Amino acid sequence: MTIRALVWNENVHETTQEEIREIYPDGIHGTIAAGLRDLLGDDVGVRTATLAEPEHGLTEEALRATDVLLWWGHIAHDQVSDDVVRRVQEHVLAGMGLIVLHSGHFSKIFTRLLGTTCSLAWRNDGERELVWTTAPGHPIAEGVESPIVIDRQEMYGEHFDIPNPDDQVFISSFAGGEVFRSGVTFTRGRGRIFYFSPGDQEYPVYFHPQVRRVLANAARWAAPVDERRLPEVRNPQRRDWS
């Protein structure tokens, strides 16, 4: 089955800041989409959508045609329509996979699904990040080096205000001494959710081959096994089991 992936990006930094556009000339969404195509080939069909599109590109029709939604947001969380967030939530609960990236931890969809503030500690000094695999048998960690060495990245640190995850796949350490649960999974309804923190817009993290491998693995993992979404409500007749 071909994985139908939709990469969503608010696309604000790339359109308003020349220094970010130089790093990601095709937008963060375009870079992530290219990585998925390179690693998954014919096993994936990738589309992209951005905040400025009608209904943010997340119409009912678009979501029905999506197996896995990848979400990158940062400075425009409040501009995302609540109606669209409710729509995305319904599709996740019904079985669509969701991969939330970096500062998407504060997105409306992530906080709504997790039910916590999702707050954390941060410092942007361009520090080295080491991403350590803590669940080497997990499908998202398949073929991933441990540690992934990211030369420069924004620091995210504990405490990360999230519920206990289903799986902790990665933990990061930083040059300043902090640690962070940088790769965690959740299940909501029938939908699988993966949060992965590396990927600040000021650094070319989404070109890193190991980061691309993580996202490709995550897309495979989060895609629903059953193409059907949540079954409709049924009203069966009583049966005689005697």
Q: What residue spans of the chain are helical by DSSP H? A: 13-16, 18-23, 27-40, 60-64, 82-94, 108-114, 209-222
Indicate the average pLDDT of the chain: 95
pLDDT confidence tier of residue 232, bands split at 50, 70 and 90? low
φ, ψ of residue 28 to 5 degrees: the values are: -60, -40
Mean pLDDT over 116-122 rounds to 98
Quick one: pLDDT band at residue 236, thresholds 50, 70, 90? confident
pLDDT of 235 higher than 80: no
Phi, psi of 178 (to 5 degrees): -75, 160
Q: Which residues of 204-233 are buried (b: 16+ CB within 10 A; e: fewer)?
A: bbbebebbbbbbbbbbbbbbbeeeebeeee
Return the percentage of the chain with pLDDT > 90, whole number: 92
Distance CA 237, CA 96 (A): 30
| pLDDT score recorded for residue 237 | 83
> In this predicted structure, what is the pLDDT of residue 1?
80
pLDDT of residue 153: 97
Whether the per-residue pLDDT at 227 is higher than 80: the answer is no
Q: Which amino acid makes up residue 56?
A: H
In this predicted structure, the answer to whether residue 188 has a pLDDT above a threshold of 80 is: yes
Over residues 167-186, mean pLDDT: 97
The whole-number average pLDDT for the span 2-17 is: 96
Residues 6+ apart with CB under 8 A from 183: 131, 140, 168, 169, 170, 171, 194, 195, 196, 197, 214
How far is the C-alpha of 68 from the C-alpha of 97, rounded, in Å?
4
Q: Which of 43-47, 55-59, 92-96, 230-234 has the lowest mean pLDDT?
A: 230-234
Q: What is the pLDDT of residues 138-167, one digit of tens each?
A: 999 999 999 999 999 999 999 999 999 999
pLDDT at 199: 96
pLDDT value of residue 40: 97
Q: CA geometry: angle at 82 spanning 69 and 106, to 5°?
A: 60
Q: How confident is the model at residue 33 (pLDDT cuts 50, 70, 90)?
A: very high
Q: What is the pLDDT of residue 241?
A: 81
Q: pLDDT at residue 230 above 80?
A: no
Task: Read off the pLDDT of residues 49-102 as tens digits, 9 standing for 90 and up.
Answer: 999 999 999 999 999 999 999 999 999 999 999 999 999 999 999 999 999 999
What pLDDT was estimated at residue 233? Answer: 72
